[in-house]
Amino acid sequence: MKEVIKIEGGHKLNGTVRISGSKNATVALIPASILANGPVTICGVPNISDVQALSVLLRDLGVEVVFKAEDHIIIDPTHMENKPMVQEDVSKLRASYYFMGALLGKYGRVEMKMPGGCYLGPRPIDLHLKGFEALGATVRNEHGAYVIEAKELRGTKIFLDISSVGATINIMMAAVYAKGRTVIENAAKEPEIIDVATLLNKMGAQIRGVGTNVITIDGVDNLSGCFHEIIPDRIEAATYIVLAAAAAEEMTIENIIPQHLESLLSKLHEIGIDMEVGVDHVKIRHHDGPLRATEIKTLPYPGFATDIQQPLTALMTQAEGQTVVTETIYTERFKHCHELNKMGADINVMIPSSFIKGPTPLYGAQVVATDLRCGACLVIAGLIAQGITEISEIYHIDRGYENLDGKLNALGAKIWREKKED
């Protein structure tokens, strides 16, 4: 039996939705916690399947994991053991690669299977491995697992060929216990990196320059437990903002940091969305006039996020003229376009761009969530389509969106789950 999500389109949304803690920060903060030598309490943890998967991996390492209240997690690595991470769960979860930096930093050795995750085209981890080698580690591949070890990690200068979020965080975690000073140049600037550095600094690390392209880490001898609250999820916030622009009469999205969403908010203003931005919320009102087509180019933060282009594509099927989306991060990230065309969209993909002609009415159809943000795109399309949309492979959606159906039904959508024969 497989589970599908069904959406009856055409219901206008009204009300307020509260954004959960950041998925992309959480999946790095949880592995970062094992660098401490005492319990770490994290609050604002989203209830998503990636968190459950990471807690299974922690327990396999002998780490005590306790879920308190609705969104608190206590991670106690006091009795942790550095075991090989070669179980099947590792290859299903891309964020498991953060254990590489954390275990290498703490123990000087890690053995780990290849990480997995959504397929968005090539996502090599060679930058991570080059960073570990620069710190003094050797990397070898044995039976499909990486073995990374160092007698001693030593601070050094590391230049990243691409400002990769994963590599920046992984090298930062490996370097916190290294002897001397590590400098990461061309570092990524995403808010999630700042959040991980904030956690590590609360533990006693000495990290400066996060949010700029040069991060400096002075190695320390000990990190202790601490309390940390996760930043709101800017991609979940962006998804609900786009969803409101597509399907709401009046909707408020709260618990956001508007500064993290500037590239999206300015783009929505450009296409003609009526919105009011507050200190920690944005209010979107239904707009009667036609939406204007635009050009979008994904770029590293603070540019337009690759994770937002897919949800926005659903909205742009309703704009007048031709919208061009050019993808510079994951050039194959266009599988959602094929699914939208099944619903009546008119999208032509010529990698690395998609050309969206609008406005086109959308109709309910059977579609597949090929990855997490494709799933979000199809939910938005389902809300504005005539008839019933059925989305399969919804485990991708559950990886990154907490209680999506509950939040949408509370706003007036008609969305439910059904079990179907395989």
Q: Supply the DSSP string of 307-362, one letter for each residue.
A: HHHHHHHHHHTTEEEEEEEE-SSSTT--HHHHHHHHTT-EEEEETTEEEEEE----
| Count of CA atoms in the C-beta half-sphere (13 A) of 240 | 32
pLDDT at 153: 98
State the binding site for phosphoenolpyruvate: 23-24
3-state SS assignment for residue 78? coil
pLDDT of residue 400: 87
**Rounded-to-integer distance, Cα 141 and Cα 264, Å:** 41
Each residue's pLDDT tens digit, 95-113: 889 999 999 999 999 999 8
pLDDT at 349: 97
- Do 384 and 9 form a contact (C-beta atoms < 8 A)? yes
Answer for the pair 396, 5: CB distance below 8 angstroms, yes or no. no
pLDDT value at position 124?
Answer: 67
Task: Write out residues in the chain with pLDDT < 70, as ranges.
Answer: 115-124
**Nearest Cα residue to 206 out of 227, 185, 170, 175:** 175
Q: Which of 195, 129, 140, 188 is nearest to 164 (CA)?
A: 188
pLDDT of residue 119: 53
Q: Which residues are annotated as a binding site for UDP-N-acetyl-alpha-D-glucosamine?
A: 94, 123-127, 307, 329
Residues in binding site = 23-24, 94, 123-127, 307, 329
- 8 Å CB contact between 21 and 234: no
Say whether 337 is catalytic: no
**Length of the chain in terms of residues written:** 422
Can you tell me the distance from the alpha carbon of 214 to that of 158, in angstroms, rounded to the nearest whole number?
A: 10
Question: So what's the pLDDT on residue 115?
Answer: 66
At position 203, the amino acid (one-letter code) is M
All domains of the chain, ordered by start, with CATH?
2-20+232-420 (3.65.10.10), 23-229 (3.65.10.10)
User: H or E element: which one contains 243?
Assistant: helix 234-247
The one catalytic residue among 118, 226, 374, 377: 118
Per-residue confidence (pLDDT) for residue 288, from 0 to 100 = 81
